């Protein structure tokens, strides 16, 4: 099905449903096909731990730094 942009705006929900159920939906401008409405397919699952063993986080990573605190909050009393 080829549908112009102005009509697609009006019937977007219906067009999404049609594409979801496998119908070909092409959106055109001035009767020139521009885009095809397709179902989103994730590329792959996220993989956790890709950098395990490749980076080192120091034990004091979360410790506060007095010099930085002074820059933000001024001299401590």
Which pLDDT value is given to residue 51? Answer: 86
Task: Count up the domains in the chain and report the number.
Answer: 1
Half-sphere exposure of 10 (CA within 13 A, CB side): 4
Q: What does the DSSP 8-state code read for residue 54?
A: T
The Cα–Cα gap between 18 and 58 comes to: 53
Asked if residue 76 lies in contact with residue 70, where contact means CB atoms within 8 angstroms, the answer is yes
Q: What is the extent of the structural domain holding 18?
A: 2-37
23 inside domain: yes
pLDDT in tens, 16-58: 999 999 999 999 999 899 999 999 988 888 888 888 889 998 9
What's residue 46's pLDDT?
82
- Provide the pLDDT for residue 47: 84
Q: Would 10 be classed as within a structural domain?
A: yes
In this predicted structure, what is the pLDDT of residue 16?
96
Q: Is 50 a member of any domain?
A: no
| Residue 31 belongs to some domain of the structure | yes
Spatial contact of 39 and 15, defined as CB atoms under 8 Å apart: no
Query: Can you give the pLDDT at residue 77?
Result: 57
Q: Tell me, letter by letter, the H, E, C secondary structure of 31-49.
A: CEEEEEECCCCCCCCCCCC
For residue 45, being part of any structural domain is answered with no
Q: Domain for residue 20, yes or no?
A: yes
């Amino acid at each position: 099905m080829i549908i112009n942009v102005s009509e697609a705006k009006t019937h977007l929900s219906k067009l999404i449903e049609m594409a979801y159920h496998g119908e070909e939906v092409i959106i055109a401008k001035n009767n020139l096909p521009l885009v095809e409405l397709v179902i989103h397919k994730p590329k792959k699952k996220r993989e956790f731990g890709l950098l395990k063993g490749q980076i080192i986080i120091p034990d004091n990573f979360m410790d506060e730094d007095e010099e930085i605190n002074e820059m933000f909050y001024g001299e401590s009393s």
